[in-house]
Structure 1
Amino acid sequence: MAAKKSVLTVLTSVGLLAATACSASSTGDGAPPASGRLTTTTAPGGSEVDRVAWALPYGEPTTLDPARIGDYSPQTVEANLCDTLTRMNADFSLSPGLARKVTWTSDRALVLDLRPDVTFWDGSPMTPEDVIHSLERQRDPRTQALYGNYLTAVTSIEATGSHQVTLRTKGYDQTLPKALSTSFGAVNRKAYVEKAGPAYGTAKGGLMCTGPFRLGSWKSGGGITLERNDRYWDTRLKPKAKQVEFRFITNSNTLTSALLSGEVDGTYELPPAAATALGKTDNGTVHLGPSTQNVLLIPAHAASPAADRRLLDALSLVIDRDALIKNVFGGAATPLKSLVPPLTWRGDKAAAQFDAAYAALPDVPEPDAEKAKRLVAQARPVSRPLVAAIPAGDQRGLQALTFVQAAAKKIGVDIEIKQLQPTEMSSLFYDPSVRKGLDLILTFGYVTMPDPSSYVAESVTPRGIFNWTGYDNPEVTRLLDLARTSSDPAASARAYAEAQALFTPDTPAVFLATTHERMFMNKRISGAPASFAYMGMPWAAHLGGTDK
């Protein structure tokens, strides 16, 4: 690999989803636009607004600590509070963030040249020590961080200048610069974190970051209010909204009413049923954007009969995905052939190779109940209903799981639906004890950065935090490690393609669909990104009034 290769020069050369960045909105009757009309952005917000009310349909966050968030609600809020070292854009490309330049000066040294003019909300300057502490605490067991695996190849993190930090590595790791655009790359003030201790990121402990908004108040069970950061370092992105109020509205009917009345200005992850009602109103617009979300049915643990690959194959064979997409997702989705949706790699230099490898995978199976019954007969006996979990109040999840339940009944498999409170549902992804008593989990997952290998590794390698059944294929692990460490994009794509061909048929999961992002915004405001990139960018800083 050539020395002194600027990573962001490569990553920003092509927007990951630029091909779909056309103008779009709802068709007016609740029906989604054609996939070619997906859009990444909305018209820029113009004037200042005093307050914007935004809904969190997945409920109240359990934490806003960047090292510990891994779900829709906390990431929707935190992305506006804690800036990252590299920044995700609406088209899923990357650009400089708190680091004005990120450079591999050799295969074992990633240099972060920090901006010299960044301050935290309290006015104190961001220093290399803050950056080092923010990264290092993620491999401290006491933090219970979710992203420590990103530091697997890192041997040391040290200040190499007054505004420079260098990560020494065992070798090249193409995931690192991309990971710096996620909450893993968020920078917290060291002194504040140390003082707050375990309470950091909670309603009691608060936060201290550098983002365009600061945490104003957090009333448990009530809402979270962000206040504009008038000291914000990025003058090009100074927020026009003085205040953003997040409300926890998990009931789809309540959410629809609040959006129709104007009590709430907008939401991401708009349920399909709400989209139908809101598509007929003139007080706002339903926007569809490109996404890296995946809908999966996953066994909760290895001891469950649902972990038997033959049973999973039987469920896959009896589910009519076209009907699922039409009836549950309102047509705003496409069938999924593997763990990662194709849009994840759209901006990669080797995108054509990734596309070809994905196209070569077996097609999504047509429904075949007779073949499915034969597989059930061969599988481990199921003497009781399988317990499948979804979040309480999530109408979309309930409809999808009810659809799966009806399909499973055709082949003699009974599924019992258990609705968990949002905080419990969020916890089960990281706490094995919460998954006890469950057999299946319907997940609406997502890829947060343009790197398929790191996402997949969390589900199919022994060290992965989402590998709940102990799946272990040494060749898959070797190939994913090669994809992560190769400095040649073509070689990396080739290694991933080989791994994908191996894990796709036998990893314990039923691939259902990749959904489009669905967002509603009141006509009095504009500027919100319409793509799923909102999860990793300061999206609320783009909001402004329309004078309507």
Structure 2
Amino acid sequence: MHAPRRTALPLTALATVLALTSCSSGGDPAANSSPGAVRLTTTTPAAHGTVDEVTWNLPMGEPTTLDPAKVGDYSPSTVASNLCDPLIRLKADYSTAPGLATSWKRPDPKTLVLNLRRGVTFWDGKPMTADDVVASLERQRVPATQSVNIQVLANVTTIKATSSHQVTVRFRTPDSLFLKYLVNGFGAVSEASYLKKAGTSYGTAKGGLMCTGPFKLSGWRSGESITAVRNTAYWDPALRPKVEKLTFRFVTDNGTLTSALLSGQIDGSFEIPSTAAKALRTSKEGNLYYGPSAQTVFLTPTSPSSPLADRRVADALSLVLDRDALVKNVYDGAAQRQKTFIPSLVWKNSKAKDVYAKGYDALPELPGPDVAKAKKLVEQADPKQRTLTVAMGAGDQQSLQTLTFLQADAKKIGLKVVIRQLQPTQMSGMFYNPALRKGLDATMVLGYVEIPDPLSYADMLTDPKSPLNWTNYRNSAVTSHIQAAKATTDEEAAATEFTAAQALYAKDFPVVPIVCPYERLFLNKRLSGTPASFAYINSPWAAHLGGTGQGTS
């Protein structure tokens, strides 16, 4: 849950600093920032020197797979984005640029032609061709692959190599989202012959990977580390890594992570918890950066029988939740209130950004806490079950504090919130495995929108056929508007259809929007260059990383 046209330009020095503001401010966030607020930056200063080794942390725990087709969570994406190149690149500002596809065209509304980059080789030296692209996309139709993006192929009729470096995709009806999904694991290209040989073990410690990215997978010691070494033959000279060896660790305890960052045992990490950020903010060992983010935190029911599936219960919880207090006390000021579960970063660089902004501004404002009104909604709700068992990741202090806030507020209106902490593997797996949601009524979603289009996330949650539509939500008008948005390549027309759908599901879709957090990145003082924005999740962020001349390298 959470989602490119020539050689991509490297990120340069510090980007324009953007001021923080509330998600509910609409069009231009920077225009409404207050003096002294936390400041956002899209990139860190450009790196100059080479570095022998960097140790990086994955605070959400060890990945269960690195297979691009199955990557749908923080830890695996943070690693795989540096190993397996997608057809289109996601840039630090959430705009796009060419990746393994140099250009594309639509000869008719139901056909997409991808022209592939020449001179690209896999880590084993074999050239990348159209056959590899076809194999990488087609395998995601096969149920045994368990692709997290299988729904993207629902409208595809054929994917064929129409020359050695050209792929043609045909659709039943026009499809605007398919192209945009090529920025994430769905669009990553693996070597066809290696895929066939590895079978179901592809992407595991045993099966390995064979991709074209700036780093090569060199080792995976389960429970301890994943290592990658730089690809000296990488096709993009501007992004040939300055780091010789990249080692990923899996420290999930906030205190242990803070100590490791302060001591230099770990050089950097995205997703720094707010409790750690307070200690790292004044560190002389490195720098804490805040970046724009496409992340979203919300509470969602896990089944149609959940009390939270009744929109009146969801509205009641929303009414008693003091979001301003949450932002200040739990997120250390580094988050925004939000009216909905889709952050503005995903549309702010769109040609139709004004349409999206107008649609967001038209949504009802988030009310302040209103216990009396919330009580009435709970009394009206049916069924009368008043206990909610809510899942969260074990050791995630930020989520625990958020749910503790909600627990205390829910008690005021006759609802009992039981917090259940799940281990990382179970927490990650529950999103795609119904068996792991048994006994749960709701979950705290630390979600993110992977692709630069809000339609993708709305479609994923509200489509009756989506594996993430856990409550069997159905609204024919919402589905109609979303289908119309997907079926047009006119961005303003798509935005108009999306905002019409949003206005409808904002009234009946059972979800409790909480906040949209900002990205928190910590870098040891000897390092710089990596993007500071959430775009790292689907971009080769470590290829930008290098030395600053401070400390040892």
Instruction: Please state which band the TM-score falls in when normalised by the shorter chain.
Output: over 0.9
Closer, same or farther in 2 for the Cα pair 1:337/1:23, shift >3 Å? closer
1:531 alignment counterpart: 533
1:500 alignment counterpart: 502
Give the Cα–Cα distance (whole angstroms) in 1 for the partners of residues 278 and 67 of structure 2. Answer: 35
Aligned: 1:60 with 2:62: yes
- Say whether the 8 Å CA contact 2:69–2:147 is kept in structure 1: yes
- Say whether the 8 Å CA contact 2:83–2:213 is kept in structure 1: yes
Matches within 5 A, 1:227-246: 227-246=229-248
Give me the TM-score of the superposition, normalised by structure 2: 0.93
- Say whether the 8 Å CA contact 2:5–2:98 is kept in structure 1: no
Aligned: 1:348 with 2:379: no
2:302 alignment counterpart: 300
Deviation of 1:163 (Å) = 1.0
Superimposed CA distance per residue, residues 37-95 of structure 1 (whole angstroms, 9 cap, x where no aligned partner): 31110011111101111111100001111001110000000000000001011111111
Give the Cα–Cα distance (whole angstroms) in 2 for the partners of residues 304 and 536 of structure 1. Answer: 33
Aligned: 1:484 with 2:479: no
Give the Cα–Cα distance (whole angstroms) in 2 for the partners of residues 342 and 444 of structure 1. Answer: 16
1:175 alignment counterpart: 177
- Say whether the 8 Å CA contact 1:296–1:444 is kept in structure 2: yes
Structure 1: gaps spanning 5 or more residues: 1-7, 26-31
1:446 alignment counterpart: 448
2:253 alignment counterpart: 251
Aligned: 1:394 with 2:389: no
Give the Cα–Cα distance (whole angstroms) in 2 for the partners of residues 187 and 349 of structure 1. Answer: 28
User: In structure 1, which of residues 306, 313, 316 is the aligned counterpart of residue 315 of structure 2?
Assistant: 313
Deviation of 1:306 (Å) = 2.3
Give the Cα–Cα distance (whole angstroms) in 1 for the partners of residues 459 and 390 of structure 2. Answer: 24
> What is the RMSD computed on CA atoms of the aligned residues?
2.0
2:122 alignment counterpart: 120
1:195 alignment counterpart: 197
- Say whether the 8 Å CA contact 2:86–2:187 is kept in structure 1: yes
Superimposed CA distance per residue, residues 181-214 of structure 1 (whole angstroms, 9 cap, x where no aligned partner): 1111000111111111111111111111000001
AA aligned to 1:401 is L
Give the Cα–Cα distance (whole angstroms) in 1 for the partners of residues 532 and 326 of structure 2. Answer: 23
Give the Cα–Cα distance (whole angstroms) in 2 for the partners of residues 209 and 468 of structure 1. Answer: 34
1:101 alignment counterpart: 103
Give the Cα–Cα distance (whole angstroms) in 2 for the partners of residues 381 and 93 of structure 1. Answer: 45
2:279 alignment counterpart: 277
- Say whether the 8 Å CA contact 1:64–1:201 is kept in structure 2: yes
Deviation of 1:382 (Å) = 4.8
User: In structure 1, which of residues 59, 69, 76 is the aligned counterpart of residue 78 of structure 2?
Assistant: 76
Give the Cα–Cα distance (whole angstroms) in 1 for the partners of residues 545 and 428 of structure 2. Answer: 28
Query: What SS does the aligned partner of 1:111 have?
Result: strand
1:186 alignment counterpart: 188
- Say whether the 8 Å CA contact 1:51–1:244 is kept in structure 2: yes
1:339 alignment counterpart: 341
- Say whether the 8 Å CA contact 1:121–1:210 is kept in structure 2: yes
Give runs of ≥4 in structure 1 deviating > 2 Å: 32-37, 380-385
Give the Cα–Cα distance (whole angstroms) in 2 for the partners of residues 475 and 36 of structure 1. Answer: 40
2:549 alignment counterpart: 547
AA aligned to 2:229 is E
- Say whether the 8 Å CA contact 1:20–1:290 is kept in structure 2: no
Closer, same or farther in 2 for the Cα pair 1:129/1:34, shift >3 Å? farther
Deviation of 1:20 (Å) = 8.2
Query: What SS does the aligned partner of 1:242 have?
Result: strand
Closer, same or farther in 2 for the Cα pair 1:384/1:37, shift >3 Å? closer
Closer, same or farther in 2 for the Cα pair 1:34/1:296, shift >3 Å? farther
Q: Which piece of structure 1 moves more, 211-220 or 408-417?
A: 408-417
- Say whether the 8 Å CA contact 1:256–1:277 is kept in structure 2: yes
Deviation of 1:465 (Å) = 2.1
Query: What SS does the aligned partner of 1:253 have?
Result: helix
AA aligned to 2:495 is A
Deviation of 1:466 (Å) = 1.4
2:436 alignment counterpart: 434
Matches within 5 A, 1:40-59: 40-59=42-61
Question: Percent identity, aligned pairs only?
Answer: 52
Q: Which piece of structure 1 moves more, 413-422 or 99-108?
A: 99-108
- Say whether the 8 Å CA contact 1:100–1:114 is kept in structure 2: yes
Give me the TM-score of the superposition, normalised by structure 1: 0.94
Give the Cα–Cα distance (whole angstroms) in 2 for the partners of residues 85 and 419 of structure 1. Answer: 37
AA aligned to 1:190 is A
Give the Cα–Cα distance (whole angstroms) in 1 for the partners of residues 151 and 382 of structure 2. Answer: 34
Deviation of 1:170 (Å) = 2.5
Query: What SS does the aligned partner of 2:293 have?
Result: coil
User: In structure 2, which of residues 17, 20, 35 is the aligned counterpart of residue 22 of structure 1?
Assistant: 17
Give the Cα–Cα distance (whole angstroms) in 1 for the partners of residues 18 and 385 of structure 2. Answer: 52
Query: What SS does the aligned partner of 2:52 have?
Result: coil
Closer, same or farther in 2 for the Cα pair 1:241/1:434, shift >3 Å? same
Structure 2: gaps spanning 5 or more residues: 21-33
Deviation of 1:36 (Å) = 8.0
Q: Which piece of structure 1 moves more, 69-78 or 142-151?
A: 142-151
Give the Cα–Cα distance (whole angstroms) in 1 for the partners of residues 358 and 512 of structure 2. Answer: 22
Superimposed CA distance per residue, residues 289-322 of structure 1 (whole angstroms, 9 cap, x where no aligned partner): 0011111001111112222111111101000111
1:29 alignment counterpart: none
Deviation of 1:383 (Å) = 4.8
Deviation of 1:404 (Å) = 1.2
Query: What SS does the aligned partner of 2:57 have?
Result: strand
Superimposed CA distance per residue, residues 153-190 of structure 1 (whole angstroms, 9 cap, x where no aligned partner): 22111111121111112233221221111111000111
